[in-house]
């Protein structure tokens, strides 16, 4: 081989031909966590499929309780289970409620995955997250980066629990041949999000804060940290579509990233939100709040190899989400603030 030749590694990922297609027609699909933002998007997306949807309210079934989940699964015997249930929250909630984020997410994985297997479920899809990769993973983050370095301290509790869930799926596949697959969504946003300035994720939190600042005539929007961290944002309807794509076309032990492949700085995101909301005041950066991981952009090669890509542009997605927020959340709140 001439020494002027640089040999590069070729990447390949199983595409899953039509013979491998997992058909949803006539199947019962249990969406665990159907009341959350992801679960609601899944219910919307799956209503277009010829399958039968199964859901259960939190008051009827606590998804953290193995015996109760086992009994429910045995009674309903879903063909497909999608684990969209999780305790989630923004950077501050993660850092200040470590027990809840670690224990609840571990308990959900440990109750739902074994119960689905025991009930004869044909296929299970478990959701991990881009924040469970090492804090300083090379960008864009490939699935192979999992467990190659230390976690981001602000969300290590959530990350550990989700890693355990991902590994439990892999273990069930290896030991019992259970068709459990895992997806790694990037930071999500959209209708049904938690528009809570303290406990929510950055996008809905800034949207709520900008809306209130405009309504109340406050001159300054408070943004946490330095504004320099970069994040990738995926609309939850794109995620739901990607999950159905994955469910029907992929079977394997390796997790699959679902993202846009594009990130933006938090400062740019704040500008975009101010523009959408029509807030014309100033932006102030709060240095006593954490930045978290500096950058988190997913390598979406696998998902693209499987023939899927997102459709909703960030600016359009933010505008649509703001319209939803105004109609479903802000309207009631605003009526208590008639001066706006």
Q: Enumerate residues 254-273 that contact ligand GFB by CB under 6 A.
A: 266
Any contact of residue 187 with ligand GFB (CB under 6 A)?
Answer: yes
CA 102 to chain centre: 16
Any contact of residue 91 with ligand GFB (CB under 6 A)?
Answer: yes
Any contact of residue 283 with ligand GFB (CB under 6 A)?
Answer: no
Q: Enumerate residues 113-142 that contact ligand GFB by CB under 6 A.
A: 129, 131
Choose one: 2-10, 111-119, 173-181, 290-298; the region binding ligand GFB (CB under 6 A): 290-298
Please say whether the beta carbons of 202 and 221 come within 8 A. Answer: no
Which residue carries 């959900």 as its tokens?
108
Which residue carries 């009631």 as its tokens?
332
96-108 in b/e form (b: 16+ CB < 10 A) is ebeeebbebbbbb
Closest distance to ligand GFB from the beta carbon of 39 (Å): 16
d(CA 255, CA 126): 9
Out of 173, 211, 231, 249, the only residue in the binding site for ligand GFB (CB under 6 A) is 231
Please say whether the beta carbons of 41 and 82 come within 8 A. Answer: no
Q: Show the beta-strand stretches assigned E in the chain.
A: 28-32, 52-54, 80-83, 123-127, 180-185, 187-189, 220-224, 230-231, 233-235, 256-258, 264-265, 282-286, 295-296
Q: For 275-306, give the DSSP string.
A: HHHT--SEEEEETTS---SSEE-B--HHHHHT
Closest distance to ligand GFB from the beta carbon of 137 (Å): 14
Q: Enumerate residues 194-213 that contact ligand GFB by CB under 6 A.
A: 200-202, 205-206
Closest distance to ligand GFB from the beta carbon of 224 (Å): 4
> CB-wise, 156 or 248, nearer to ligand GFB?
156
Return the structure tokens found at 214: 């405009």
322 is catalytic: no
> CB-wise, 224 or 279, nearer to ligand GFB?
224
Return the structure tokens found at 170: 């892999």
Choose one: 32-40, 42-50, 151-159, 306-314; the region binding ligand GFB (CB under 6 A): 151-159
Closest distance to ligand GFB from the beta carbon of 47 (Å): 26
Q: Of 158, 172, 189, 322, which is the active-site residue? A: 158
Q: Which residues bind ligand GFB (CB under 6 A)?
A: 90-91, 94, 129, 131, 154-155, 158, 187, 200-202, 205-206, 223-225, 229, 231, 266, 289-292
Active centre residues (catalytic): 158
């Amino acid at each position: 081989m001439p020494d002027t030749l640089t040999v590069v590694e070729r990447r390949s990922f199983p595409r899953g031909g039509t013979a491998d297609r997992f058909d949803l027609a006539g199947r019962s699909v249990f969406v665990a966590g159907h009341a959350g933002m992801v679960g609601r998007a899944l219910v919307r997306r799956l209503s277009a499929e010829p399958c039968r949807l199964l859901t259960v309210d939190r008051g009827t079934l606590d998804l953290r309780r193995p015996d109760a989940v086992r009994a429910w699964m045995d009674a309903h015997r879903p063909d497909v289970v999608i684990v969209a249930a999780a305790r989630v929250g923004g950077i501050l909630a993660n850092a200040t409620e470590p027990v809840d984020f670690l224990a609840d997410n571990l308990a959900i994985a440990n109750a739902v995955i074994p119960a689905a297997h025991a009930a004869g479920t044909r296929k299970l899809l478990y959701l991990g997250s881009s924040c469970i990769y090492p804090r300083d993973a090379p960008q864009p983050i490939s699935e192979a980066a999992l467990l190659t370095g230390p976690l981001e301290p602000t969300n290590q509790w959530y990350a550990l629990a989700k890693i355990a869930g991902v590994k439990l799926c892999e273990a069930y596949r290896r030991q019992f041949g259970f068709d459990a697959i895992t997806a790694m969504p990037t930071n999500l946003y959209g209708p049904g999000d938690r528009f809570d300035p303290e406990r929510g994720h950055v996008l809905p939190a800034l949207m709520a804060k900008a809306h209130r600042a405009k309504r109340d005539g406050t001159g300054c929007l408070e943004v946490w940290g330095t504004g320099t961290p970069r994040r990738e944002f995926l609309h939850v309807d794109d995620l739901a579509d990607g999950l159905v794509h994955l469910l029907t076309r992929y079977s394997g032990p390796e997790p699959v990233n679902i993202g846009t492949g594009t990130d933006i700085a938090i400062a740019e995101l704040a500008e975009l939100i101010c523009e959408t909301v029509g807030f014309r005041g100033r932006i102030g950066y709060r240095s006593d709040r954490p930045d978290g991981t500096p950058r988190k952009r997913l390598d979406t090669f696998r998902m693209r190899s499987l023939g899927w890509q997102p459709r909703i542009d960030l600016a359009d997605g933010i505008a649509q989400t703001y319209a939803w927020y105004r109609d479903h959340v802000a309207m009631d709140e605003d009526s208590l603030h008639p001066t706006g």
